[in-house]
Structure 1
Amino acid sequence: MTSAGPTGTTTAPQALDAQLVAAIAQSRERTFAAHRAHLGAVAPEAEELVGVVEDYLAGGKLLRPRFCFWGGIAALDRAPDEDEVSRLAALGTAIELVQAAALMHDDVIDHSPTRRGRPALHVEAATSHRERGLDGSAADFGIATAIVLGDLALSWSEQLAAEVASPGAGPRPAAAAVEFARLRTEVMSGQYLDVLHQAGGFTSAPSEEEAALAVIRWKTVPYTVLRPVRAGAALMGAGAEALELLSTWAAEIGTAFQLRDDLLSVVGDADATGKPIGGDVAEGKRTVLLARTVAATDAAGRRLLERTVGRPDAAAEDVTAVQELMVRTGAVDSVVRDVRAAAERARSILSRAAECGELGALGVTGLQSIADSATDVESIGG
């Protein structure tokens, strides 16, 4: 599908996506150059922090900026002009910085050794500490570095978002600023619910599965799909009805995305995910997948789960046995079906929104393409 641009040109979604990627690269370059100049005046060691964050963002899939961008295009109902692409890219870059902060801290909380196929930031910093022969605990230094860099990335995200989504710049930027503020608040609240749930303290949820779903709703959905897509749409002038449609769609896609991610952490391909398979088992992540496995297994299965789940020193053969149990009990297949059902409901929402003219066809095409990629479970089966 193509669309006429503001100058009468015809723009394909693939070409627009490439334009977005280029604009994000430019936004990052400007942002990091400014921070490098600022921190360079503090100390050479402080300036090095900019390069660490810059490298951390390299190689990402730009999922959240794409949701932001195509939400904006859906609101515009046409191809964007150069200024609109630039503003949406800057807002998307700010959201990527929030994600970077969340991941840096999340890996510390979860004791995750890797991220995107390479050592997690706190592990990398600890290794550097040992190699340089610095004083004190290398592990403590790594954790402290990840916390500081996460805080720095979060600060930079706010500065960048304020350039394009300032409450004092008019109704559209003000609406986008509200979405960005809620994104940061909700993901932090969701992170706390996740930590609380891991400790067995999320007692207001009526069941283990519903607690896991609530964590998804407040940790993953807001900063992965819902707020990015609403922020982009608000920045481009979306009305209340369009925003509500996007919210309903985002809840389905965000939930399906996280359920799929939980599956990939157990039955995925480590080379493709960049994370060790079985990591969620050893860590003891209280996922929907685990809740359904516990509910469906027998006494022998529960004994296996008790001696393996949440135990970093668990025997490799027990971790493998838990993965096999998740398949054998039907838990994997049931989660795969839920991912597919949510993706199909989301598809229907977008289709109806395009048909009634609430969302533009070009933006709907872009959003559907990202959703298809984010919820694909064909390699898992079910």
Structure 2
Amino acid sequence: MDHRTKFEGTWIRVRSELMDHVASEGMLPEAVEWYGKNLDYNMTGGKLDRGLSVVKTAQIIKGEELDDNEYYKAAVLGWALELLGACLIVSDDIMDNSTTRRAKPCWYRVPSVGLIAINDAFMLESAIYYLLKKHFRHTPYYVDLLELFHDTTYQTEMGQLMDMTTALEGNFDLNRFSLDKHRLIIIYKTAFYSFYLPVALGMCLTGVPESYTLEGKTVEPYKVALSILLLFGEYFQSQNDFFDFSAPPELVGKIQVGTDIVENKCSWCVNIALALATPEQRKVLDENYGRKDPAAEARVKEVFEAVGVRERFAKYEADMYERLEELIAAIPEGPERGTLKRQIFMIYLEKIPKRVK
């Protein structure tokens, strides 16, 4: 049985726990049924990368396969993270007025759902804290888990706020954009939630302490992990931005090729173009970026091609890969259990450059 299949198999039990709990609260039958539909629609069909990363991290730190009890606890944390992802997706789709997600209508677009989806997003998030209380309340790291989820949710919401207010519809002032602003949005909206949280949860579960001594050096593993994983988040989202501009629909996996240009996003590509554009090219960007017009989008892409965004991304990717490789190699590593392992980060390093969205 492969890792994904095994992890997916635990969802049946997790879902049952959630459904039994809402039923035990005396909710009306139609509300319980609705909650089940919410879970089934929004918790299936994803890549599950974040949830799987929790389990993989725990296995790597332990140094051997998790027993059944350990595996299920890791899987619960993985599914709690997937619940956070589902909550963010449901709300994000409403804010973006999106139409499809994972090749089906966004939840709020489903007939009879509409803006009930806002409460459904809250329900998905609240399920996290029921699972944490049920499975980890009597552990010494329960508060650490709560803080990880609360802090990361708050950080992600701050990232979403920065992203939305930077891309306000009708505000076409490209002077508001910069690579520094782009990086800040990425770190808060993507990196904490998609990269640091899965690894930190796996570390917490396996008893990795705040600090330890290895090879005569004091190691602060959570700080080390954070510094590397935020950089992975920056790399990942910049790659996403590049795919949004450059990849054909069959690779992007959407009905249309990317939407960053027409949605006036502070993307990696536009910031690179702004730095390289001639006055004439800058005028084209000013007049066309953010307009919901295919012809305007095409003119922006022509500028991207002309200033060499593709070549710039190839160099950025090579430089970022080398930098991450050096940081991972510098992690003090020994045979001790409960310590940080380079393999955790090598999984990301081996995967991200080869992915296609």
Match in the other structure for 1:259: 238
Moved more, 49-58 or 350-359: 350-359
What TM-score does the superposition give when structure 1 sets the normalisation length? 0.78
Match in the other structure for 1:132: none
Match in the other structure for 1:196: 165
Match in the other structure for 1:280: 260
State how far apart, in whole Å, the 1-side matches of 2:17 and 2:315 are.
42
Q: Cα offset for 1:98?
A: 0.7
Give the number of the structure whose residues are more often helix, by fraction: 1
Match in the other structure for 2:101: 115
1:1-382 aligned at under 5 Å gives the runs 15-16=2-3, 18-23=5-10, 25-34=11-20, 37=23, 41-44=27-30, 47-122=33-108, 124-125=109-110, 128-129=111-112, 142=114, 144-166=115-137, 169-199=138-168, 208-240=178-210, 241-275=220-254, 276-312=256-292, 314=293, 316-353=294-331, 355-357=333-335, 364-365=342-343, 367-376=345-354
Q: Cα offset for 1:76?
A: 2.1
CA RMSD of aligned residues (A): 3.1
Task: Indicate conservation of the 8 Å contact 1:72/1:233, yes or no.
Answer: yes
Task: Indicate conservation of the 8 Å contact 1:35/1:50, yes or no.
Answer: no
Match in the other structure for 2:217: none
Q: Cα offset for 1:326?
A: 1.8
State how far apart, in whole Å, the 1-side matches of 2:337 and 2:237 are.
25
- Structure-2 change in CA distance of 1:41 and 1:277 (3 Å): same
State how far apart, in whole Å, the 1-side matches of 2:4 and 2:25 are.
33
Q: Cα offset for 1:65?
A: 1.0
- Structure-2 change in CA distance of 1:49 and 1:164 (3 Å): closer
Q: Deviations over 1:70-92 (max 9, x none)?
A: 22223323322211111111011
State how far apart, in whole Å, the 1-side matches of 2:8 and 2:338 are.
21
SS of 2:71 mapped into structure 1? helix
- Per chain length, whose mean CA-contact separation is higher, i.e. which structure has more relative contact order (CA < 8 Å, sep 6+)? 1
Task: Indicate conservation of the 8 Å contact 2:252/2:258, yes or no.
Answer: no
- Structure-2 change in CA distance of 1:102 and 1:375 (3 Å): farther
Q: Cα offset for 1:294?
A: 2.0
SS of 1:79 mapped into structure 2? coil
Please, which runs of 5 or more residues in structure 1 have no aligned partner?
Answer: 1-13, 130-140
State how far apart, in whole Å, the 1-side matches of 2:335 and 2:329 are.
10
**Same amino acid, percent of matched pairs:** 20
Task: Indicate conservation of the 8 Å contact 2:80/2:127, yes or no.
Answer: yes
What TM-score does the superposition give when structure 2 sets the normalisation length? 0.83
Task: Indicate conservation of the 8 Å contact 2:262/2:290, yes or no.
Answer: yes
Letter in 2 for 1:67: S
Q: Cα offset for 1:183?
A: 1.5
State how far apart, in whole Å, the 2-side matches of 1:28 and 1:196 are.
36
Please, which runs of 5 or more residues in structure 2 have no aligned partner?
Answer: 211-219
State how far apart, in whole Å, the 2-side matches of 1:348 and 1:18 are.
33
- Structure-2 change in CA distance of 1:327 and 1:88 (3 Å): farther
Task: Indicate conservation of the 8 Å contact 1:75/1:360, yes or no.
Answer: yes
